[in-house]
């Protein structure tokens, strides 16, 4: 296998992005974050790609920031806030804004910013032995890379606070019962099931997915009239797509639709 920190592979209309530093549970160093940003840009711009999987090589999804290459206290000129702005925020925003669905296939531990990356996906699947850990407070940091935004929305305020403050490592099963994970699969089945789901999504009306993501991304920040207006605006765009015409025609003709993502 390549020793690139991120593997980017396109198979049909599905791109698979694999965090690839298995010896350190795919800890996030600068090289990995730069490559991850490039992989997200490729998946976004390639019109042939209509669904994306993000997963980890080896036994982990990601152990979060590479602690062997951080510079606590800003020694060595490193400012943690700036590092987040430069390296992490573009990745998280690229995932949320990507106009196609992203499946996070969490194959092992997802800790710290690794958990944030998992949560930035649209559908979160986990292997039976996967675990989730808001590791930040254990080393004196604040949950970052979107964790304080995703967590209360996914699991509610009570659990978000407990997870962030206690930094307990929770199982895939608990994560699912908290609403953090959509499905849990046997470890060996995780990637095949993610691929199956991605292939299905890639044959669906991709632009509708882009509009759905846009409608949901900030819905908590809008009041009902504003959200209704956004839905109407997006629906007028969706209503002009080839895929909408095809979806209605296929329904009326009682045949499976052939969506093109246009």
Report DSSP letters for 192-220, one per residue.
HHHHHHHHHHHTS-HHHHHHHHHHHHTGG
83 binds ligand T3D per the rule CB under 6 A = yes
H helix runs in 98-256, sequence order: 113-120, 147-155, 157-166, 172-178, 187-202, 206-217, 224-238, 242-252
Give, as ranges, the residues between 180 and 239 that touch ligand T3D (CB under 6 A).
Answer: none
Pick the stretch among 110-118, 122-130, 174-182, 185-193 that binds ligand T3D (CB under 6 A).
110-118
Q: Per CB under 6 A, which region of 50-58, 60-68, 153-161, 228-236 contacts ligand T3D?
A: 60-68
Cα–Cα distance for residue pair 87/89, rounded to 1 Å: 6
Among 1, 3, 45, 68, binds ligand T3D (CB under 6 A): 68
Looking at 44-52, 111-119, 154-162, 253-261, which segment touches ligand T3D (CB under 6 A)? 111-119
Interaction pattern, residues 123-152, with ligand T3D; x per rule: CB under 6 A:
----------x-xx-xx-x--x--------
- Site for ligand T3D contains 110 (CB under 6 A): no
Distance between CA atoms of residues 176 and 166, nearest Å = 19
Under rule CB under 6 A, residue 109 binds ligand T3D: yes
From CA 9, how far away is CA 200, in angstroms rounded? 18
Distance between CA atoms of 158 and 111, rounded to whole angstroms? Answer: 20
Per CB under 6 A, 5 contacts ligand T3D: no
In this chain, which of 111, 119, 123, 208 binds ligand T3D, going by CB under 6 A?
A: 111
CB 125 within 8 A of CB 104: yes
* Tokens 């992989």 belong to residue: 39
Contact residues toward ligand T3D (CB under 6 A) are: 24-25, 27, 63-68, 70, 80, 83, 109, 111-113, 133, 135-136, 138-139, 141, 144
């Amino acid at each position: 296998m390549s020793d690139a920190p991120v593997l980017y592979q396109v198979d049909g209309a599905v791109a698979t992005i694999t965090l690839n530093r298995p010896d350190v549970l795919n800890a996030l160093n600068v090289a990995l974050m730069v490559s991850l940003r490039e992989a997200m840009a490729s998946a976004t711009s390639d019109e042939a790609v209509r669904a994306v999987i993000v997963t980890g090589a080896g036994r982990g999804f990601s152990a979060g920031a590479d602690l062997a290459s951080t510079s606590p206290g800003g020694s060595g000129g490193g400012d943690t806030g700036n590092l987040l702005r430069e390296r992490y925020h573009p990745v998280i925003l690229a995932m949320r804004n990507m106009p196609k669905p992203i499946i996070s296939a969490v194959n092992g531990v997802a800790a710290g910013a690794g958990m944030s990356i998992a949560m930035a996906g649209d559908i979160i699947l986990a292997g039976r032995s996967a675990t989730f850990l808001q590791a930040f407070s254990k080393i004196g940091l604040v949950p970052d890379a979107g964790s304080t935004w995703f967590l209360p929305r996914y699991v509610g305020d009570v659990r978000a606070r407990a997870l962030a403050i206690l930094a307990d490592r929770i199982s895939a099963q608990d994560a699912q019962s908290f609403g953090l994970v959509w499905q849990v699969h046997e470890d060996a089945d995780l990637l095949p099931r993610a691929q199956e789901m991605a292939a299905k999504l890639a044959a669906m009306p991709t632009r509708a997915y882009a509009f759905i993501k846009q409608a949901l991304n900030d819905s908590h920040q809008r009041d009902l009239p504003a959200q209704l207006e956004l839905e109407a605006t997006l629906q007028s765009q969706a209503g002009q797509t080839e895929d909408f015409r095809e979806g209605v025609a296929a329904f009326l003709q009682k045949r499976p639709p052939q969506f093109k993502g246009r």
